[in-house]
Structure 1
Amino acid sequence: MQKFRARLTLIFIVLIGASVLAAGLFMARMLKESHIDALKTNMERELKVILVTIDWRQTGTETEQIRYFTERADRLKASADARVTYIRSDGKVLGDSDHDPQDMENHLSRKEVAEAMQSGGFGTDMRYSATLQRNMLYAAVPVKEDGQIKGFLRLAMSLEDVDASIRQVWYGVLIGLLAVFIIAGLISYRIAYSLTRPIEMITRVAYQITNMNYKARVHIRKKDEVGQLGQAINGMADSLQLQMNRILEDESRLKSVLENMISGVMMIDREGKIVLLNRSAEEIVGFSSHELLGKKFDEAKQQYEFTQLIQECIDSKEHIRDEMIFYYPSERILEINLSPLSVGEGEWAGVLIVLHDITAVRRLERMRSEFVANVSHELKTPIAAVKGFAETLLAGALNDKETARSFLQIIFDESERLNRLIGDILELSKIESKRIPLQFSPVHMHTFVANALNVMNAEAKKKSIELAMEVDEEMYIEADEDRLRQILINLLSNGVNYTPEGGKVRVKVEPVEGSYGPSGDYERIQMTISDTGIGIPKKDLPRIFERFYRVDKARSRSSGGTGLGLSIVKHLVELHKGTIRVESEVGMGTKFIVELPVIH
């Protein structure tokens, strides 16, 4: 822009300088012509005056005539301030005020003499005088007698004065031209600056917009074309900024959606490179985006079957859905959806891959299937017993009262067991579906545990099992008392059932270490139900909270258990925002440790 401004200023200066120079040339020419015309007029007038004083009828020899006319020429030069020359009709110089006529050549061919002879009047010429060695203006008139030309009278004046005047004019023109150049330069620069400055600002803003600085604006208040251009640039910048803000908002929303999707999303471009990978996809495939982005899908350390599926979609350009087991970073079942991408009129753009982790779904389906099978099996056993003994009675065993009574007792026990099983199944179903609203209220733990032990006291006495408790008198928690009693009774019943005669079942309630708040009060309690029973093998510990899972199936059936008690306990504890865990060693007894918050 500086170069453009300099060129524009130079153009202005050249145009103005050329105009001034042309005007100076024209003025000098006109001045010179005017001056010369005035000289010609004066010389013509003087020649006519001199003609009156000339006597061409002089007699005598040529030498006498030359002397006479030379003397006349000398006298006339003093009055006319010009060179005077007398020329005979044949061109012979008879007298000259500045030079010896004897040494002068014939003047008949001189332009002014020839013009005067041809026109019969006034003749002029401007030329360099070799005699006087300067530029001269010559004027000649013919001398006539009786209509015949007898000779010529010529005046010659130096043009030094004219040249001096022209030089003065040129000095003035050059000084004026220099002044005009300076003034024109300043004015031109100012004009060029006023023209280029807005354009420079517009160009700078355009570059900033090109560099994605959409806040840049042109500050021009002019209403001319440049101002309108600046307003158009500002309008374009406003539009671009609005569109970029929308694009950034949409991009932010899309990025937020992708990053928070549970499903994994991958995108592969037309060259087979991984160009998009959200957080869930990173977790599923076991590699970060930094490790995979920009790499070919078949070079990205992925499972062979997965890369083959991607290649199949690229080759067929059709949607593919499949399920696959991934073994890294952990074993999972994935549902894979591959969709070909295209832009424009079917132009191939790549593959979009959506990964769903359906491990939990398949596990749930398996658990439901197992639950249905277990329920069917658990229901079938008592029903088969009832049916078998009923058929025996119908076949004639009713006649034997002792046998009939024994069979009816078995039918009653099995129906009771069936009733408990159905009740536990319904209870567990309601708990799992969270259709049981909890009614929280303050519970005095010392009284609460004592009442639960009283409920179990009769059962414990049958096996001479000692029931003990260790609870602070001032301990309270907020809980659903009925559901908390169900938790404790189930765990105590489990302890009594699996503890041999003469054993001990103990309940201890205490604050959890490290759970004290800023006020100094504890925020969680720990309830430990321990027994001196047969214990649980280590391999069975992870599964004891599963539905219908029994460590000792024969003993569980004989004790009347349904296999759902611990599963119910676990769900009730979780409804109270608590946790339950078990510690056990075969032959040494078992501990169930329940942690609950004090306040909900």
Structure 2
Amino acid sequence: MTTLAPAADPAVDPAGASATAWPDATAALRAENDALKARLRDAERLAAVGQLSASVTHEFNNVLMTTLNYAKIGLKRSDDPHVVKAFTRILEAGERAAKISESLLSFARGGEERRDTVRLAGLLEDVLVLTGKDLQAHRVRTQTDASGDPRASVCVPQVQQVLVNLILNGRQAMPEGGLMTFTLTDNAADGTAEISVRDTGAGIPREALPRIFEPFYSTKTLGNGSGGGGGLGLPLCRDVIEAHGGRIRVESALGRGTCFTLKFPRVG
């Protein structure tokens, strides 16, 4: 007697899984991947805050000491011309303290997805307030060049995170100190704006350049003074910039340094 195998159900694959389940599984994997990327961005942000916290706290204490000292002078000389000067200094120091705390709070609010049209020069200035003391402590000088005053629609905390990551990478590439140059370019003709971060560090080997945006790939090693690298910072930088409709590119030469350029769609 011949036994006939049941006809194959077109909705079932040979392994017995429903074909209609594949789209659902793909969507679930995509959602999980997006959630993991968000968690990695948060982890990178916390790591960057940890590296900056000591320098920022030190500067904040210096600002507060200035505020307290001049407040005492103002209280003792209520009828003296020095009062105006003393309280002017109090105002300046207080504004400086507020700027530092606002920059740190803005950077820490990385979960926000809201985009605002901002001056890129102002965004860069806020990041330099946040990182300035850390760069000074590591003997890194800064120079800023600007061509125009372009605006872009960005999620400010996310772009701040990208810039902080690039600045810390550049600082780590210059263990003996050096120069970090920030260039802001308004490309009105092609509707884009650029921020470049250039260091005078060791540079990246030519063979490594094609891979630096790959997850978990890193040119840093434990013991070279950089603290090692998880290979997640640059891939996350690329994801953030591309999500803004932009591009990130890198140029580097051994012994001469590295330049990262962020390109954004220009607004206005």
Distance 2:125 2:45 in 1: 29
1:420 deviates by 8.9
1: CA distance, partners of 2:131 / 2:204: 22
Select which of 185, 194, 213 maps to 1:545. Answer: 213
Q: CA deviation at 1:556?
A: 6.8
Q: Does the alignment pair 1:573 with 2:248?
A: no
Q: CA deviation at 1:526?
A: 1.4
CA distance in 1, matches of 2:267, 2:123: 17
Q: Which residue identity lines up with residue 503 of structure 1 in the other structure?
A: G
* 1:456 paired to 2:134: no
Is residue 147–residue 186 contact of structure 2 (8 Å, CA) maintained in 1?
no
Alpha-carbon distance between aligned partners in 2 of 1:426 and 1:460, rounded to the nearest angstrom: 18
Among 483, 502, 522, the alignment partner of 2:158 is 483
Give 5+ residue unaligned stretches, structure 1. 1-318, 320-360, 369-418, 428-435, 516-522
- Report the secondary structure of 1:454's partner residue: helix
Q: Which residue of 2 aligns with 1:504?
A: 179
- State the percentage of identical aligned residues: 28
How far did 1:558 drift?
4.3
TM-score where L is the length of structure 1: 0.26
CA distance in 2 between counterparts of 1:470 and 1:479 reads 21
Q: Name the structure 2 match of 1:288.
A: none
Distance in 2 of aligned mates of 1:512 and 1:423:
34
Structure 2 letter corresponding to 1:492: I
Deviation at 1:425, TM superposition (A): 10
Give unmatched runs, 5+ long, in structure 2: 1-7, 9-25, 34-38, 48-110
Higher relative contact order (CA closer than 8 Å, sequence separation 6+):
2
Judge conservation of contact 2:139–2:177 (CA < 8 Å) in 1: yes
Distance 1:498 1:596 in 2: 26
- TM-align CA RMSD: 3.4
Cα offset for 1:598?
Answer: 1.5
Using the TM superposition, give the Cα deviation of residue 562 of structure 1 relative to its aligned residue in structure 2, in angstroms.
3.1
- Deviation at residue 500 of structure 1 after TM alignment: 3.3
Q: Distance in 2 between matches of 1:421 and 1:445?
A: 21
1:563 deviation in Å?
A: 2.3
C-alpha offsets along residues 97-118 of structure 1, whole Å, 9 cap, x if unaligned?
xxxxxxxxxxxxxxxxxxxxxx
SS of residue paired to 1:467 = strand
Q: How does 1:143-542 map to 2 (within 5 A)?
A: 423-424=43-44, 438-472=113-147, 474-512=149-187, 514-515=189-190, 523-542=191-210
Mapping 1:93-132, distance limit 5 Å = none
- Preserved CA contact (<8 Å) 1:445 1:471: no
Q: Which amino acid aligns with 2:130?
A: V
Are the equivalent residues in 1 in contact too, given 2:112–2:155 (CA < 8 A)?
Answer: no
When normalised by structure 2's length, the TM-score is: 0.56
Measure how far apart 1:498 and its partner are: 1.0
Secondary structure, aligned partner of 1:506? strand
Q: Letter of the 2:267 partner, please give it.
A: I
Deviation at 1:560, TM superposition (A): 5.8
Q: Residue 508 and residue 421 in structure 1: after superposition, are their counterparts in 2 closer, same or farther (change >3 A)?
A: closer
For 1:484 and 1:591, how far apart are their aligned partners in 2?
A: 17
Q: Retained in 2: the 8 A contact 1:500–1:534?
A: no
**Alpha-carbon deviations, 1:5-41, whole Å to 9, x = none?**
xxxxxxxxxxxxxxxxxxxxxxxxxxxxxxxxxxxxx
Q: 1:525 to 1:422 in 2, by over 3 A?
A: closer
Deviation at 1:591, TM superposition (A): 0.7
Q: Is the 8 Å Cα contact of residues 425 and 564 (structure 1) preserved in structure 2?
A: no
Aligned-partner Cα distance in 2 for 1:572–1:508:
20
After superposing on structure 2, the runs of 4+ consecutive aligned residues of structure 1 that deviate more than 4 Å are 419-422, 555-558
The aligned residue for residue 118 of structure 1 is none
Which protein has the larger Cα radius of gyration, Structure 1 or Structure 2? 1
Q: Do the aligned partners of 1:449 and 1:469 also contact (CA within 8 Å) in 2? A: no
Cα distance in structure 2, aligned partners of 1:598 and 1:437: 21
Indicate the larger mover: 455-464 or 578-587.
455-464
SS in 2 for 1:460: helix
1:306-353: CA deviation from partner (whole Å, max 9, x where unpaired): xxxxxxxxxxxxx9xxxxxxxxxxxxxxxxxxxxxxxxxxxxxxxxxx
- Take 1:569 and 1:556, find their aligned partners in 2: how far apart are those partners? 23
2: CA distance between counterparts of 1:513 and 1:478? 15
CA contact (8 A) 1:536 1:590 kept: yes
533 and 425 in structure 1: CA distance in 2 versus 1, 3 angstrom threshold: closer
CA-to-aligned-CA distance 1:502-539 (integer Å, 9 cap, x gap): 31111111123741xxxxxxx21111111001100011
CA spacing shift, 1:557–1:500, aligned 2, 3 Å = closer
Partner of 1:134: none
Correspondence for 1:589 among 239, 251, 257: 257
* Residue type of the alignment partner of 2:179: K
